[in-house]
Each structure stands twice: as C-alpha cells, then as structure tokens.
Structure 1
Amino acid sequence: MGLPAILSTLIGTSLATGARRLKHGPLRPGWSFKYEATVACMRATNERVVHLDAPAQREEMERLSVPSPALKRVRREQVDAGGVQAEWFTPPGAAGDSVVVYLHGGSYVFGSTRTHGDLIARIALGTGARVLGLNYRLAPEHPFPAPVEDTVAAYRWLLSTGVRPERVVFCGDSAGGGLAIASLVALRDRGEPLPAGAVLIAPWVDLECSGASVVAHERFDWGDKRMLLHWAKWYVGEADVRNPLVSPWYADLRGLPPLFVHVGSAELQHDDGVRITEKARAAGVKAHLEVWPEMVHNFQTFGEGFPEAVRGTAKLCEHVRGVLAEAAPR
C-alpha cells in the first residue's frame, strides 16, 4: 500500500467521520473532528493490516512514519547495544549520565525506533536525557522470550558503559509497556540492579485480554480484542500465556522500582493500566496512575499537532525528570 492508498484511506475515513458527526455528533463528547478522524483512519489501517503476514504488516506501519519537527532537533545514532539493534536519540545539551531506555509498542509484531521516532524524540527533548530506543526482535519469527532477552541484554550493555542504574528509567508504550514490567521482573529475579523507575504508556500486561475495557471500548479505540488475540498468539508461541514474563499481570511485583502509568479512559488497555497499578501498590511498589479522559490507546503518539499528545508527553517527561533528579549526585 503506497502513499496514494494511505491518503485514500485518510480521505475516506475523514469524509465518513464528518458525515457521521453531522448526523449523530462526536463519538465522544470531548473529541474534535481532527481527533476522531485520526482514530477512524488508524482503525481502518489496523483492520486492513491485521490480515497481512508479519513482514507486510511491518512494512505498512513503517510507511506511516513521517518526519517531524522533534526529530530534526535531536541527534540520532545507530548502536549495537549488547547484540541488540538500538538507536540513540540525543537532545541538545543532554546530560550524559541520564538515560531513558525506550521500548516501542506494536503488539510485539511491528514497530521500531522509526515508527515511534517522533515520540522518542519528544521524550528526549522533554527530559533532557539521552534516549536509547531498542529495536528488539519481533514475533512471530522471534516469539517470547526474545524481546525480554533483548531488553535485559541491552540494559546490561548500558550499565557496562558506565551508566549507573539509578540514572536509568525504562519507558514503553502498549506491548513495550508490558515488556518494561516483564524485564524489570526478569532483572529482579536474577538479582541484577534495577533502574530508577519505569513509565508505562497504556501497558499491555494481560495477553489473554480479560479486562472488561478490551470489549467495552472497542467502538471508540483503533483496535479490538480479535486483533489483540491474533497478535498475542504470534508472540506467545509455545509458551504459557500466563507466564509472568509474557503477561506481567500474573507476576509478583514486589521489589520493583516506582511505576508511572498513563492510560486513556476510552482505550482497550484502560483496565490493564488500572489493574497493574493496583497490583503494584498491593505489592508495596510506589505506583502513580493517570487516566486521561476521552483518550484512546497511545494518544501520546499522535504528535505535536494534537494538544492532548503534547500535554500527555509533557507529564511523562516531568515525571522522568523528577525521578532522575532524585538520583542525581548531591
């Protein structure tokens, strides 16, 4: 699907959204036309892409990536992070000893530092820290535990370069959010030093998709339970879907560093974010939850043209700055 077809999808969904709003009003009270049309376009894209094989899905998602103002303001550098393909995003005047390790979403099947480059760049600019984006191996060619192994290997490599664990924050969206928690659990169980904290954007922590919001919010969000279960099957492979490193909802969370969780009130993963926060608190983990009204899945990735994405990313960056400041040398 080339650019003309993508534009055709955008135009078609925009026209359909406009006609529907004229007759019934906005799908959600707080949604602008631009926001609703964007969600509709993303939903139409997912409905088409989910039927393709994995390489074709990745190719389609990569095509949707476009240059952004934020990307022009950071320096990017490919790096081998302990055998894991990765990319540095360095903002002007970056503090060299502070690092955000970013784990992209994409249902463990697609996604990269290219598809998520704009958000990664905005996080680098907003925190003043270098961001190490990981291009971990993807399913179905590389099912569980490959992404967990890659994250652990890259983190070990980062520490081997002299970066102290208390100067590192994990950050991930969707599958990347679940991967962040799984990697923390894996590191804890192996007795390795943990980072200062983790920021989780709409974390996918239950690959059985048992949360009520997965069905209740299907009419608003840009995916559905059928899609999630399809991608989950590719990632889980021969493993047990309730393995704590597959679905961190089943993990013992004791001893993990502080968590900062962002979810939208209208998204599929709403319940995943709420439940993992409550479970973390019950395990004695400091966990802060922010539920953003009317927002759908990964609204922070929508770019600088959406005020909600700008405000959401700013809050995430404010939290990261606070975590890193607490660990700064006195």
Structure 2
Amino acid sequence: MSDEPLREQTPDSLELRHLRAFVVVAQELNFGRAAARLFVSQSTLSRQIATLARSLGCVLLRRSTQYVALTLAGRTLLEQVPAVLDDLDDVIQATRSTGGELAERIRRLGDQFADLTYADVDALRAAAERHYALMPIAPEIAFAPVNAGGVPGLVASPAQPDRAWVLLLHGGTYTSGSAYGFRSLAGALADTVHGKVLTPDYRLAPEHPFPAALDDVHAAYTWLISRDAAPHDIVLAGDTSGAGLALSLLLRLKDRGQPLPAGSVMFTPYVDLSAAAPGTLPDLPAPSATRRGTAWGIARYLNGHRLDDPLVDPLHADLRGLPPMLLQAAAGDEGLPDAERLTDHARSQGIDVRLEIYPVAAQSFQLYWSFLPEAADALTQVGDFVRTVSGSAPPRP
C-alpha cells in the first residue's frame, strides 16, 4: 500500500463556465465590469461564483458595496486555474483536430450544394430546404403561423415565454431560405432566450429584388411593436445575408426616426457586397458555397441598385446611435473578414459591439447546435446577450 497521501477528487458539480466567470471577476475585482465582459447580468454572475464556492467548499471572494477582494483560497485558485483552462482548451482543440468527426459530418451535410450555382435558383432553394429538414427541432417549442403586417411567418415559443422577442432573419443570399426551414434555429433561440421568435418569410430575389425583402422585414417589425412587444423587448438576429438585412432594417429605422430594438445578433454576417459590383462578377457562376458564387445571388438581389447606398453597405454607413451588437463568426470561414470589418467600423462609431470567433470552419455553424459544442455555446451567449440588452426577462439559472 502506498504511503502517498490520497488526493481529493475534483467535485462532480464543478463547471468550467463557473471557473471562467471566477477568473474574469478576480481579474476585474468588479462585478459590473466582469458581467459586461461576459455579457451576463450581475445576478447571473453572482450565482455562478456562489455555485463555484459551494462546489469547492471555500469562500473565494469578499464583497461589499465598495469593493471586491480575493480570499487566500481565491488567490490560490486565480494563480492556478487560468493555466489549467488554457491547457484544457488546447487538449480539446487537439482532440477535435485529430478526430475531425464533427467537421466531416458538417461537410457531408453540405455536399448537396457542391455543384449548385445561383444560375439555378430553384435547385438551390430545394437543396436548402432539404438541408434544413435534417436539423432537429428543440423539444417543447410550439410553432404558430402568423400574418405579420401582411408578411407570412412563424412564431416559435416555449411553454411559458418571458417578454423577450427575437426577430430572426434567415440566410440564403436573399434568394433562398424560409421560415419553415429555419424552425430548428428559431426553436433553439426560443429555448435559450426563453422568449418568442418571429421568423418572417420575406420575399426572395430574383422574383422580388431589393428593396422587397427590406420592406417585408420592416413591415414585420412594425407589426410586432404594434401588437405584442415593446421595442426594448426585441432583439434582431440575422444569419449570413440575413444579418445584412438586419443592418439594413436598423439603418432604415434610424433614418425614419422609428423606435430601435434593444440590440442585434449577427451570425456570420455577410455585409460586403462589393463582389457583386459591375465588372467584378465572374463570367460564369461559381459554386454557391463560395463567396464568388454568392456574388451572383447578391447581383440578382440588387438588380442594378447602387452599391454605395448605405442601406446595402453598412461597412461605410453611419451607424451611430444603433443598439448593442453581438457578432459571431467561424474562424475557418472565408466570411470572417466581414465580421471583423463590421466590428471595427461599428466600434469606431461608438457602438457597443462584441465579436466572438469560434474554432470551427462551417458557415452558419449555429444551425448545428444539436451536435456541435461550439454552436451550443454560441447560442448560450446569445441568450445571455438578449437578456442583458433587453432587460425584459430575468436571468435563467
């Protein structure tokens, strides 16, 4: 029998998010600043720290109305845990890089788009709906059709929703996608936000070029604030080109002096439309999953509309006065520069903006929330963001 003393095991209830929250609080020694960095409420942060202390059986922080101070146990934890978290992140990254099963699964899901171009919009639309149909629906989420100011759509709702609303604008390069197809993401958002999600079926190009889609989402937003929600309870969310459409809506609302929502969430925002400029469009359509390929879809949406119109060029528009933004992008996606440029531009104009970059390669990776850990984490961050900026729903444990 070994004379070496037994080491205590890590408590089963210990959670990484609580450790990460503690590190930020310990670095800031201020719950307000720490909550802002993590995009959670102070009450949520306090509960996370209290849960961590109970799991460890130690008092980690001393807190009064004037100050936050580390105990000796807290100092010990702060000295050790950042390196542990960094090592764990490296291990997870190496494991995923070696295995690659999730990346391969996502690649197979996108195989049907490999040979499609925007020269055949009908085939693209059918492939998109087949793709969305493979995504599961979050349990205990109900869907109801609505007429949102003359625009058809679907509302996703949990059993007992809070006051928060999300107006979700689907992607598809303005030419494909639907409210029905986006039920999986809408349901996941409704679950994480614990509020209702309206996905309008805005009109698509080339049958309905700019500004038809903008007119439709504007009508849906106006209907929403006139019927069921105050602007401060609403957050816009857009996926790829839907993020560009969300920015167009925000700029139109600002220009017309209409109430703005509480914030906006951009999933892999597609906002640089310069590839569709006259003289730059490739002679033959490229595969639809590439940026050169999507340029054809954008050109059909713009239908000759000038590219320097601020409503379609948020990278050069006056964004001052817009509400907080949360941007999420994939590190391995060729659309990442759009997110980075939009972040820099918004920040230079005084917008409260946060960019989160996840170590995945898939565009619109949030769609894969049911099996991709990064997607599930991203939606958790969206839920915290919505509750923080809207102030309409209490934090969830």
Give the distance between the partners of 1:261 and 1:188, measured in 2 at CA: 20
**How many angstroms apart in 2 are the aligned matches of 1:204 and 1:305?**
24
Change (3 A) 1:233 1:194: same
Quote the residue 1:82 is aligned against: 149
Distance 2:385 2:214 in 1: 25
1:205 aligns with 2:287: no
* Structure 2 CA distance for partners of 1:288 and 1:111, relative to 1, 3 Å: same
Conserved 8 A contact 2:204-2:213: yes
Residue 132 of structure 2: which of 65, 69, 72 is its match? Answer: 65
Q: How far did residue 325 of structure 1 move? A: 2.3
Question: TM-score scaled by structure 1?
Answer: 0.82
1:49 to 105, 109, 116: 116
Using the size of structure 2 for normalisation, the TM-score is: 0.69
2:232 to 166, 171, 174: 166
Is 2:161–2:196's contact at 8 Å kept on the other side of the alignment?
yes
Q: Would you say 1:273 and 2:339 are equivalent positions?
A: yes
Output one character per residue of 1:208-261: Cα deviation in whole Å (capped at 9) or x when no partner: 249xxxxxxxxxx99222212111111111201232212322211111011111
Alpha-carbon contact 2:164-2:392 (below 8 Å) kept: no
Q: Is the 8 A contact 1:39 1:222 kept in 2?
A: no
Say which of 40, 44, 51 aligns to 2:107: 40
CA distance in structure 2 between the aligned counterparts of 1:149 and 1:134, rounded to whole angstroms: 11
Task: Note the 1:240-319 alignment, pairs <5 A.
Answer: 240-319=306-385
1:167 is displaced (CA, Å) by 0.7
Report the CA distance shift for 1:59/1:52 in structure 2 as closer, same or farther (over 3 A): farther
Structure 1 residues 257-307: Cα deviation after superposition (integer angstroms, max 9, x where no partner): 111110111112101111111111111111111111234311111231121
Larger-gyration structure (1/2): 2
Match of 1:6 in 2: none
Question: CA-atom RMSD, angstroms?
Answer: 2.4
1:93 aligns with: 160
- Find the counterpart in structure 2 of residue 215 from structure 1: none
Match of 1:130 in 2: 196
**Residues 222 and 297, structure 1, Cα contact 8 Å, conserved in 2:** no
Does the CA contact (< 8 Å) of 1:43 and 1:222 recur in 2?
no
What residue in structure 2 maps to residue 3 of structure 1?
none
Within 5 Å, give how 1:82-231 maps onto structure 2: 82-95=149-162, 97-209=163-275, 223-231=289-297
Amino acid at match of 1:50: T
Q: In structure 1, what residue type is equivalent to 2:219?
A: A
The answer to whether the 8 A contact 1:40-1:222 is kept is no
Distance 2:137 2:340 in 1: 30
Distance (whole Å) between structure 2 residues aligned to residue 143 and residue 155 of structure 1: 20
* Secondary structure of the structure 2 residue equivalent to 1:177: helix
Q: Is the 8 A contact 2:117 2:288 kept in 1?
A: no
Q: For residues 42 and 224 of structure 1, what CA distance do their matches in structure 2 show?
A: 16
Q: Counterpart of 2:385 in 1: which secondary structure?
A: helix
Which range moved further: 63-72 or 285-294? 63-72
Structure 2 unaligned segments of length 5 or more: list them. Answer: 1-92, 277-286
Q: Distance in 1 between matches of 2:310 and 2:271?
A: 9
Deviations 1:190-218 (A, max 9, x none): 010000000111111111249xxxxxxxx
Distance in 2 between residues matched to 1:29 and 1:74, nearest whole Å: 31
Verify the 8 A CA contact 1:166 1:327 in the aligned structure 2.
no
